[in-house]
Amino acid sequence: MDARERLLDTAVTLFAKEGIAATPIAKIASHAGVTAAMVHYYFTNRERLLDAVCEERLLRNVNAVWAPLAEDKESAAELVRGLVQRIMRAAETQPWLPSLWLREIVTEGGQLRERMLKRLPLGHIQKFITHLSAAKREGQLSPAVEPRLVFVSLIGLTLLPLAAMNIWRRLPLLQDVSYEELGRHAEALLLHGLFVQQPKSQRRR
């Protein structure tokens, strides 16, 4: 099982860096320190390997980000903050995640797009939308905000900047921006853009 886990870790790292189409099985095996035959032993073929990447790497992270909503009784604003923090934590511990998501799911022709669309935890996302819709009815959300699109905006302010981090960090003014700072920035934009801000007197009470 150690060899299998190592192969999966190697595969997602190479896929994120070079793309699935440009990464032959032999290269994954070589970087993992095993033979190509071992890849076929554990995954049978390339398609089964991609299924395993979706199930055991991508979907595991997606569920770690979204599943806490199932039991969460927090306010809509706290739910948004929690999602941002979990996305940032996943990306910091697994740097391949944002790049792989952008390259193979978001980009047209990505080889994991259809696989992941079939596996997305739509129930968790629907629960999030329901929370936000209730907050909008209660006057907490800005009238112009569409609750169904908030999770799209959330991904746009987290995974997309993370996927491009190696580019914008090359600029002298941005090279020392941390994951924590990027997370706080995304939280601030989302919370102040989505929610109606109470007067200071009400916030103190």
- Whether 55 maps to a domain, the answer reads yes
**pLDDT band at residue 35 using 50, 70 and 90 as cut-offs:** very high
- Whether 37 maps to a domain, the answer reads no
- Whether 165 maps to a domain, the answer reads yes
At residue 72, the pLDDT reads 59
At residue 128, the pLDDT reads 92
Token pair for residue 75?
């306010």
At residue 200, the pLDDT reads 46
- Whether 139 maps to a domain, the answer reads yes
Higher-confidence residue: 198 or 42? 42
- Whether 80 maps to a domain, the answer reads yes
Residue 23 Cα distances to 50, 107, 139, 173, 186, angstroms: 12, 17, 50, 34, 33
Supply the CATH number for residue 184's domain.
1.10.357.10
Q: Which long-range contacts (CB under 8 A, 24 or more apart) does 147-156 make?
A: 150/80, 150/190, 150/194, 151/83, 151/125, 153/190, 154/80, 154/83, 154/84, 154/87, 154/186, 154/190, 155/87
Domain count, the chain: 1
Q: What is the pTM of this model?
A: 0.89
- Whether 63 maps to a domain, the answer reads yes
| Average pLDDT score over residue span 69-93 | 88
- Whether 191 maps to a domain, the answer reads yes
Domain that includes residue 90, residue range: 47-196
- Whether 111 maps to a domain, the answer reads yes
* Per-residue pLDDT tens digits for 135-191: 999 999 999 999 999 999 999 999 999 999 999 999 999 999 999 999 999 999 999
Neighbouring C-alpha atoms within 13 Å toward the C-beta of 124:
18
- pLDDT above 80 for 54: yes
Q: For residues 28 and 39, give the distance between their C-alpha atoms in angstroms, rounded to a whole number.
A: 8
Q: Where are the alpha helices (DSSP H) in 35-178?
A: 36-43, 46-53, 59-66, 76-93, 96-101, 113-117, 122-137, 150-156, 159-163, 165-168
- pLDDT above 60 for 198: no
**pLDDT band at residue 59 using 50, 70 and 90 as cut-offs:** very high
* Per-residue pLDDT tens digits for 93-112: 999 999 999 999 999 999 99
